[in-house]
Structure 1
Amino acid sequence: MATNILVADEDTHFFGDVCKNFDYAAQFTKHDAGLLDQIKSCNSVYRFRFPIRRGNGFEVIDAWRVEHSHHQSPTKGGIRYSEMVNEDEVMALAALMTYKCAIVNVPFGGAKGGIKINPKNYTVSELENITRRYTVELIKKNFIGPSIDVPAPDYGSGEREMSWIADTYATMNPGQLDAMGAVTGKPIALHGIAGRREATGRGVAIAIRECVSFGEDMQKIGLLPGLAGKKVIVQGLGNVGYYSAKFLAEFGALIVGLCEFEGAIYNEDGLDIEAVFQHRKATGSILGYAGAKKEFKNTMEGLEQPCDILVPAALENQITEDNIRNIQAKIIAEGANGPTSPEAEAIFYANGGIIIPDMYANAGGVTVSYFEWLKNLSHVAFGRMNRRFEENSNLNLVNMVEGITGTSLTPMQRSTIIKGASELELVNSGLEDTMIRSYHEIRETYKSNPAIGTLRSAAMVGAINKIAVSYQNLGIWP
């Protein structure tokens, strides 16, 4: 089905903002204008509608799947379930996925999907029907497959929806050995991978930890290096926000504010993230939490409270020209996609702040999705082949050292040294290495040319250069 023209009342700025960032960064590269246009453009946009039965009648559902770039195969990107989904947003998110994968050296092209519904308004049975029908439509147009296009969870979707997609794809492709590789973010029991659920939030926390580790950079914005004692406000207590806050607290930061759609809470002495999560689970709201010293019914007021680091981990366009001057943070770490408008970013940098861009900061999810995809293609869990061998080798080494030195280790010391890596430990190690290496690449680009101006532009420059090389290797451009 051909791409439909956007209706007049849709918000169409997001893809334009991404393209503006691209165009600005492109001037710091030396690639052919035609190649740059190819990298920037969305290759395939599939907009479709399908009916579902509700009660005694029918409802027509609007949906999209966008494949932004085929410089690498398969393409990769989540599926968003939201009433606010539109074609422009899905195109923008697909483009960000292309650049994100390049930034963290994951060999995928970028893609994204969207279903225009509010999941809260549907029964589980209706959601399953919608998800399976969406998958069938993708199969019919060859927009899904382990070597074609691999969806994943996004806002409004999760492991349950991915399991429905996996089952539908496998049913429609009997005998395909790699069918489970057609989607990632699946439950562990359905060939998912340990650590995927918390991967995006963990990646955000690692990105922040790496950013604040450079004393030279922190001195310029009036902060001491290191996360210890840094005051953090997190917007969004969903999957990304919750795990970002959890791991930042484990790294030594102080979570002083939490914001959700129903309002915000604040305590300069710190909030217990797990206690707040359980309170919201029990009451349906973060408001009324006993450990909060301040609460606000307007969530945007929560973003404007005193802190060192602000983590917007909800939706796009949360920090704009209208409220950026009220933000007191020195660092904004974008856990969500596109939470800061270009105008707001320019003002924030002019006032001496740093923004850790979404293209890098929230790339933990696609990084671990890549590991899951590899696991599905190899049909072997990470650590299964070598864990016991490593433990036996380490045990022999410990016994030898004890025999030579005449000393004995405590049981805890022995178990720590002998232990082989589990799948979760290997996944977390790979994620941490990816986030650290990628930040260093971005920072080196940023430092190499002061005119680049921002970490976002530096990340985009690196992404453009890597994607250009891929196209050149395909023989399309000399």
Structure 2
Amino acid sequence: MSKNQNKTNAYSFFNCIEKNFDKAARFLSIEKGLLEQIKACNAVYRIHFPVKIGKEIKVIEAYRVQHSHHKLPCKGGIRYSIKVNQDEVMTLAALMTYKCAIVDVPFGGAKGGIKIDPQTISVEDIEKITRRYTSELIKKNFIGPGIDVPAPDYGTGEREMSWIFDTFLSLRSGEVDALACVTGKPISQGGVRGRKEATGLGVFYGIRELCHIKEEMSSVHLDIGLVGKKIIIQGLGNVGYHAAYFFHKAGAIIIALAEREGAIYNEKGLNVSKVFLHLKNTGSILNFPEAKNIENTEKALELECDILIPAALENVIHKNNANRIKAKIIGEAANGPITPEADEILEKKGVIIIPDIYLNAGGVTVSYFEWLKNLSHVRYGRMEKKFNENMNAELLQVIETVCKKKILSEEKKIILRGPREIDLIRSGLEDTMINGFHKIRDLKKSSKIGNLRTAAFVLAINKIIDSYEKLGIFP
């Protein structure tokens, strides 16, 4: 892809968000100037710094964007990609603001990016770049537990977050809450269990909640529940894989999986774990023994199915292919996978779209839990686990005495067990996703808004306005 094409795509993505925002603004009696303030990015930090890679000195281009300060700290991932540019980072920062507002996570939106291809750079050089980038953020006060808290994104993970934390700690010695300067860290460095699968699990919870509502399922002529639902997932990265895993476990049938090089299809269903093992061994999902290859990955989106989950790139469903989409429900696990033109076509067809600004908020929700853990300096479950186990044991003893019957030892273990950190994290995530969905749906019905996306934007804008009013910023 050329630089100009990349720029055009980035502007297209940014325009998609603006169009959806403007659509929602029609349902609000809010002064235009206030809406413009919410849309605008508050701070954009563009950095160029030199790093010695091999025998050469390379100038690295990087960004950190803080979209909104209506809540602090700001929060958002850092991506490493050769396609990183200012418009993309600004757009993703704006999305973070709206996501956080919808799921009641008290952060302003932010995003970061470094324009490198991590596949072509050594681990030592990636570490150099990460540490230098962190030091640049510290210089301008663009990182800190109460200022701006990065997280993993495309091309980054626990390793990079641990380098960021270590660099911050070395330059801000004695900072008692230093652990909370970044989330998505390894468990040994204050990370939280369940962070890796959080976005994919959040996608599962959100779609499952829709599928439990009879009225919604009747509108698309489907039975309630997930069992037997035919699902297609585009993208088998962290989000797509975990979403596929949880749907498969719940009894749904994953009939197709699509990646950049092509797609695989089996009408009777694919075993997600086996496909992932095949991908690790061969470097591709193609030629999986129990499936048929589809050369054009975009064609996989057009197959007959109940639920389509784009979990990879933006703008994969557009005006040229929207009419050929046969899914009854689309869950946007990726950011901006449907263009506004395609949105209108799909809405006329009666397709239910669960929007990205709600559906993929699982990652930031669990990042919030990690941030709270780091600030409290106490592991989740440490205070109450043994107390709950003791209470359960006493209750069990009473039941056995009253019923005059002994409970089997295997069943006893399940009943007696107190909550572990991962149990509490998943419980909090599930509750957040369920509540968020019903707030959007209730607003859609009460305000007679045509779709869940517009309702989600209306909900987000209202919450941001409310925050500004409480701060006394707006008259």
Shorter-normalised TM-score: what interval?
A: over 0.9
2:135: which partner in 1? Answer: 136
Letter in 1 for 2:21: F
- For each residue in 1:401-440, what CA deviation from the matched residue of structure 2 results, as whole angstroms up to 9, or x when unmatched? 3223322111122222211100000000000000001000
Structure 2, gaps ≥5 residues long: none
4+ residue runs over 3 A deviation? 6-9
- Are 2:367 and 1:369 aligned? yes
* Equivalences for residues 44-59 of structure 1 within 5 A: 44-59=43-58
Letter in 2 for 1:335: A
Distance 2:289 2:280 in 1: 15
2:161: which partner in 1? Answer: 162
- Are 2:417 and 1:419 aligned? yes
Q: Secondary structure at the match of 1:421?
A: coil
1:198: which partner in 2? Answer: 197
Indicate which of 465, 469, 472 corresponds to 1:468: 465
Paired residues in the alignment total 471
Distance 1:400 1:307 in 2: 50
- For each residue in 1:336-387, what CA deviation from the matched residue of structure 2 results, as whole angstroms up to 9, or x when unmatched? 1111111111111111101110001100000000000000000101000110
Distance 1:161 1:321 in 2: 38
Distance 2:256 2:270 in 1: 7
CA apart distance, 1:123: 0.9
- For each residue in 1:22-45, what CA deviation from the matched residue of structure 2 results, as whole angstroms up to 9, or x when unmatched? 111012122222221111111001
Q: Secondary structure at the match of 1:85?
A: coil
Tell me: CA distance 1:8–1:253, structure 2 relative to 1, closer, same or farther (3 Å). Answer: closer
Report if aligned partners of 1:65, 1:111 keep a CA contact under 8 Å in 2.
yes
1:329: which partner in 2? Answer: 327
Q: Secondary structure at the match of 1:234?
A: strand
2:77: which partner in 1? Answer: 78
- Are 2:241 and 1:242 aligned? yes
Distance 1:91 1:165 in 2: 21
- For each residue in 1:107-128, what CA deviation from the matched residue of structure 2 results, as whole angstroms up to 9, or x when unmatched? 0000011111221111111111
1:97: which partner in 2? Answer: 96
Report if aligned partners of 1:13, 1:88 keep a CA contact under 8 Å in 2.
no
Distance 1:333 1:231 in 2: 13
Q: Secondary structure at the match of 2:7?
A: coil
2:277: which partner in 1? Answer: 278
CA apart distance, 1:211: 1.1
Distance 1:348 1:129 in 2: 46
Q: Secondary structure at the match of 1:13?
A: helix
Structure 2 length-normalised TM: 0.97
Q: Which moved more, 1:247-256 or 1:198-207?
A: 247-256
Letter in 1 for 2:63: W
Q: Secondary structure at the match of 1:169?
A: helix
Letter in 1 for 2:424: L
1:320: which partner in 2? Answer: 318
1:3: which partner in 2? Answer: none
Q: Secondary structure at the match of 2:224?
A: coil
Q: Secondary structure at the match of 2:141?
A: coil
- For each residue in 1:312-340, what CA deviation from the matched residue of structure 2 results, as whole angstroms up to 9, or x when unmatched? 11121111112212221111101111111
Structure 1, gaps ≥5 residues long: 1-5
Indicate which of 291, 299, 303 corresponds to 1:301: 299
What's the RMSD between the two structures over aligned residues? Answer: 1.3
2:344: which partner in 1? Answer: 346
Q: Secondary structure at the match of 2:382?
A: coil
Distance 1:277 1:69 in 2: 38
1:409: which partner in 2? Answer: 407
CA apart distance, 1:8: 9.1
CA apart distance, 1:156: 1.1
Report if aligned partners of 2:6, 2:83 keep a CA contact under 8 Å in 1.
no
Q: Percent identity?
A: 58
Letter in 1 for 2:395: L
Letter in 2 for 1:276: V
